[in-house]
Structure 1
């Protein structure tokens, strides 16, 4: 299993409610798929029984990669406040652009001997999103040590860990609270900011990635790079004089960097091994200010590995006062896809609060592009029959529906909070439709030694092919459907 940083070697589409509801109504009548998941998936040999029938594991190297109105019921109207559409891909872009020139270059850090490039780069991406108005230095130690996974700092990490950590509001915390490299991380620290949206760049063209950077800010991605490859005496790939890097060979992805922009005019003659054309991505490394020009170096557009498995963009960073609590059916986030061999499915999570709270938002993973979603709250959960009634439109509060362009994690924010009484069990029912996948539901499962901390105890989630017949995921498949609710004290 590869983890990035291991061993430290190195046009807004229209969203129409009618289209959403049409997809929603077409969910029924599908049959369960019975083929096994990919035998090369990590931990596949450990799984038995029904789990393999409708589950695809997410490989770590795969992860390294309008707002419709809704009838809220009970005399009011609600819509989610977030627009998940992407930048128009036909908009003209400048030949050269860098967020570093706009006051959004984060502090350059040095990972030293630890395999924390992934955590440092994630921290820097969030820092860049806050600049220039707010300057924070965020803790990579906390990201790498308090993410909930059973993994040491010298083993690297992957994007599923980052998304889970951020979505749970475990952090990020400041570097001052949790200094880097001391081998310890305090318990009980509160997030300095909340990251509510993380878009995966998997499958995007270079032009679309440029638009993502131009609209949303610096992005995190992986390449094949270590210190032996950048040593002037031994490297065929790095030119120390021009701070340029070009690897023409497809190799293991083992290092993460922050991409701040691009330069179409950057001469191919600057590279030690010349690519066919000019042009380079402007990147920031985690090897200290002594590398490149204050941490900045240039990677050829033709590098065989940069963006090969996509990347991640942090596109909704805000102050940490938007919610007080996280109610969830999962703790380690999206580890596998589950479904019935068709593009749509239903899932639900059951929750209970121990004090009166206000529902502010919900957190949802989209496992692929162009995901349609619909969400209903069941105020008084009485078992699977109440889920069926909500799916059929006979019961429940319609929270909203919409369309998500890119895979990743999204916070669906309510314009008007909902009151949740203490001690009363309720459920949230979700319909998802993701073209091109037979398993559209993100689930958490124990799939390898890194996810040994996954627990089914105290969790209650359900999955359905048609919204009529429901299976409890914990007993049928040993999985937790991924769903989060963000609440505030009344």
Structure 2
């Protein structure tokens, strides 16, 4: 805060008097004339003084305000229907004093709900996404009483995350595998035959696709950009601590949409390096050296959509580190069913009976006879685990949910079939055929029992559980059909991207963000990404061809407009949007993708609309103290010339850099802003002499993760191309990093482990 702003003083020089003696009448006349002039000058001076004073007070007011430019940003922390300095002051005090959760899973009676400050910010700033009425899939799911992806070959088998807190990676990977299988089935993938869905098949589930969970979990805490080199966010390439830092849905989105972390299990198995695969070694996995294998890895899909449905459980922050249950979004149940039928499995977060495999059940909401959970807690909701919904049964008996602490007397029938990641009998026998299941603990003895009395690793979760949040699903582009695009131009690699942990809105509809990219060859710009934050959003997209002179005023719209269109998005999340026509780019051509994202204001009964600051967003360094942030700190940054934002101030709309925007709020002591959440997708022009990767064949491998090329520009990466090439010496964009702040054991408490769009608790889950 700037406290000392000098008020300019007016020029009050005295009027000069001529002391030469002369005729008295002349002198009198002269004096009268001079007096009149003095009066006029005094009047002018008074007006000047008033104008100067007003300008000075305005400058002083700006200097001492938290929002010195008077933007229309919405942060109604006090809940009085407006945003003012009181909200900023209270919010700033809160982020410095909130209580950090204990990520090690010690959920004692004194535990205060595990609220993270950024998750609380998301709720305060934006509330809940109510979601669309339906997904327009053309099928009435209310008439389908039971449905199981396993039964039609569109889900994969149960795996085991032990001994790490990597459930989020297993939940996301399961959903992606299912999306790929659903896409492979084509139009037949949505066909419904009631005879195939009478009872769930929970044993001998075949893996039509088997992706690497390790690839995702490892890279999210590994390959973060830092200027001209790749920097591990956690020290040591072989340190498995990163696998227990927890995670959230947007981390998978960040990796997948950057064309990273989609590798086959065979290429990067969930197993330590150079260690014989025996059951004895499985029991001590945490003691070995972990890492990713070197070499080319084949991607069988590009993720083109990451969609977030509204939370079934409506939770609210009481600003004292408690999440309070407010009620059920009944329509969210239908939306999840529609997503299962059309897109595949849906990952979710919920309050598990225990946080990690091998831990005893402590919740009191889990029935271990029927392997069924119903949490009816009202206060201190804590989402601790990520899993994957693979089916449903409307007729599942509500009495089977009865447990020590819950009340099922008024509960309705109905349950999700949920795939966990704590092992199963099948998993144990497949991986360690000589192991004794009776001595394997949860690795073989968790989940619904099959007809043979063996545990399957699945469980039932009531539709009406008070903790179900962040349902999400994927849309994919298959390599077997030929990838739609060859190059992915991206800057937004920060794992805590703007939507997660929070995104900020403005009260007007004119906010815009833009990324400027440079074509690395002769290419056809065919699509861009858009990220929406609530259902039923409208995105206005413009593309400009620009040069350095066009950008001198920080205005990326100063060049030639070559595309101008709008896109309506039904659900929130990441979407790939095709341009009305392709734009041919020459090598070295700079182009700006400008996006304006608007939606209805849920808090405005008059039907007003808001717009979104779609930038990577984090807390400023000064707001992240050792006491309140845990042990991982975020940093958002955008290199010069890469990203711009247009925002309404009291002086009108202004284009500025993310750094200028951050400085506007309490001198940069509250937020940091990085790159815009905007990507561009191109296809190599026909005459381009670059290998075209249309089909994945042994001789034409598609890269993921470490083997991706990069093109350096302004200290950052401009494009990722679907051609295998080592990236160890290539530049990645300086969009964010995370730094170890304390001890090795402290790494388990990831301070920004907050998940999913619209998620209330944003709890790191393992």
Give the 3-state SS of the residue equivalent to 1:242 in structure 2: coil
Give yes or no for the alignment of 1:360 onto 2:526.
Answer: yes
Pick the aligned partner of 2:72 from 25, 32, 43.
32
Q: Are 1:243 and 2:398 an aligned pair?
A: no
Q: Kindly indicate whether the alpha-carbon contact (under 8 Å) linking 1:348 and 1:463 is maintained by their aligned counterparts in 2.
A: yes
The whole-number CA distance in structure 2 between the counterparts of 1:286 and 1:42 is: 39
Q: Partner residue of 1:443?
A: 615
How far off its partner does 1:86 sit? 4.6
* Equivalent pair of 2:172/2:249 in contact (CA under 8 Å): no
Q: In 1, distance between residues paired with 2:93 and 2:527?
A: 33
Residue 676 of structure 2 is matched in structure 1 by: 481
Do the aligned partners of residues 328 and 95 (structure 1) sit closer, same or farther apart at CA in structure 2, a change above 3 Å counting? same
Q: Kindly provide the CA deviation profile for residues 21-80 of structure 1, in whole angstroms up to 9, marking residues without a partner as x.
A: xxxxxxxxx95346456966999559xxxxxxxxx95669979x9xxxxxxxxxxxxxxx
Bigger drift between 183-192 and 369-378 goes to 183-192
Aligned equivalents of 1:317, 1:465: Cα separation in 2: 35
Does the 8 Å contact 2:180/2:476 carry over to 1? no
Larger Rg: 2
Task: Confirm whether residue 460 of structure 1 aligns to residue 630 of structure 2.
Answer: no
Which whole-Å CA distance do the structure 2 matches of 1:387 and 1:44 have between them? Answer: 34
CA distance in 1, matches of 2:159, 2:561: 50
Contact 1:388 1:469 in 2 (8 A): no
Give the aligned partner of residue 215 of structure 1: 342
8 Å CA contact retained: 2:542, 2:561: yes
Q: Which residue of 2 aligns with 1:94?
A: 144
1:167 aligned to 249, 253, 257, which one? 257
Q: Do 1:330 and 1:459's aligned partners in 2 also have CA atoms closer than 8 Å?
A: no
**1:419 and 1:220 mapped to 2: Cα distance?**
38
How far apart are residue 399 of structure 1 and its match?
4.7
Answering whether residue 472 of structure 2 is matched by residue 312 of structure 1, we say yes
Which residue of structure 1 lines up, in the alignment, with residue 763 of structure 2?
none
Cα gap change, 1:246/1:185 in structure 2, threshold over 3 Å: closer, same or farther?
same
The correspondence for 2:387, drawn from 254, 257, 264, is: 257
Select between 434-443 and 247-256 the one with higher mean Cα deviation. Answer: 434-443
Structure that is richer in helix per residue: 2
Deviations 1:110-165 (A, max 9, x none): 01010111101111111111226482211111111112463621121012211111
Q: Is contact 1:236–1:272 with CA below 8 Å preserved after alignment?
A: no
- Structure 2 match to 1:298: 460
In 1, Cα distance between the equivalents of 2:422 and 2:350?
15
- Contact 2:176/2:473, CA 8 A, preserved across alignment: no
Residue in 1 aligned with 2:29?
none
For 1:406 and 1:430, the matched residues in 2 are separated by 17
Task: Tell me the TM-score normalized by structure 2.
Answer: 0.51
1:194 aligns with 2:302: yes
Distance in 1 (alpha carbons) for counterparts of 2:361 and 2:535 = 44
SS in 2 for 1:277: coil
- 1:324 equivalent in structure 2: 486
1:344 offset after TM fit, Å? 4.5
Q: What residue number does 1:103 align with?
A: 153
Q: 1:442 offset after TM fit, Å?
A: 1.9
Tell whether the 8 Å contact from 1:357 to 1:421 is kept in structure 2 after alignment.
Answer: yes
Moved more, 310-319 or 260-269: 310-319
Q: Deviations over 1:250-307 (max 9, x none)?
A: 421000111112111111232243622211111110111232242221111222212x
Residue of structure 2 in register with 1:177 after alignment: 267
Residues 138 and 174 in structure 1, CA contact (< 8 A), matched pair in contact too: yes
User: What does residue 27 of structure 1 align with?
Assistant: none
Structure 2 unmatched ranges of 5 or more: 1-69, 74-82, 98-116, 129-133, 186-207, 225-232, 235-241, 273-289, 312-328, 425-443, 449-455, 602-608, 625-630, 663-671, 686-766
Q: Which moved more, 1:173-182 or 1:199-208?
A: 199-208
Note the 1:53-202 alignment, pairs <5 A.
86-87=136-137, 92-131=142-181, 133=184, 135-147=208-220, 148=223, 150=233, 152-182=242-272, 183-186=290-293, 189=297, 191-202=299-310
Take 1:317 and 1:299, find their aligned partners in 2: how far apart are those partners?
A: 31
Tell which deviates more after alignment, 141-150 or 184-193: 184-193
TM-score where L is the length of structure 1: 0.77
CA offsets per residue over residues 191-210 of structure 1, 9 Å max, x none? 43211111111245322322
Q: Extract unaligned runs of 5+ from structure 1.
A: 1-29, 47-55, 66-83
User: How much is the aligned-residue C-alpha RMSD, in angstroms?
Assistant: 3.5
Q: Is the 8 A contact 2:420 2:459 kept in 1?
A: yes
What secondary structure is seen at the aligned counterpart in 1 of 2:156? Answer: coil
Q: Cα distance 1:472–1:95, how it changes in 2: closer, same or farther (>3 A)?
A: same
Cα distance per residue 1:407-442 (max 9 Å; x no partner): 111111346532221112221121221222755122
Q: Which string of whole-angstrom CA distances, capped at 9 and with x for unpartnered residues, describes residues 219-263 of structure 1?
A: 010111144899898763333332222222242100011111211
Alpha-carbon distance change, 89 to 464 in structure 1, aligned in 2, over 3 angstroms: farther
- The answer on 1:472 being equivalent to 2:657 is yes
Which segment drifts farther, 440-449 or 109-118? 440-449
How far apart, in 1, do the equivalents of 2:525 and 2:412 lie? 52
| Greater shift in the superposed pair: 143-152 or 35-44 | 35-44
| Distance change >3 Å, CA 91–CA 246, structure 1 → 2 | closer
Pair 1:351–1:400, CA change in 2 (3 A) = same
- State the secondary structure of the residue aligned to 1:166: helix
Distance in 2 between residues matched to 1:388 and 1:233, nearest whole Å: 57
**2:353–2:361: 8 Å Cα contact kept in structure 1?**
no
Contact 1:237–1:246 under 8 Å retained in 2: yes
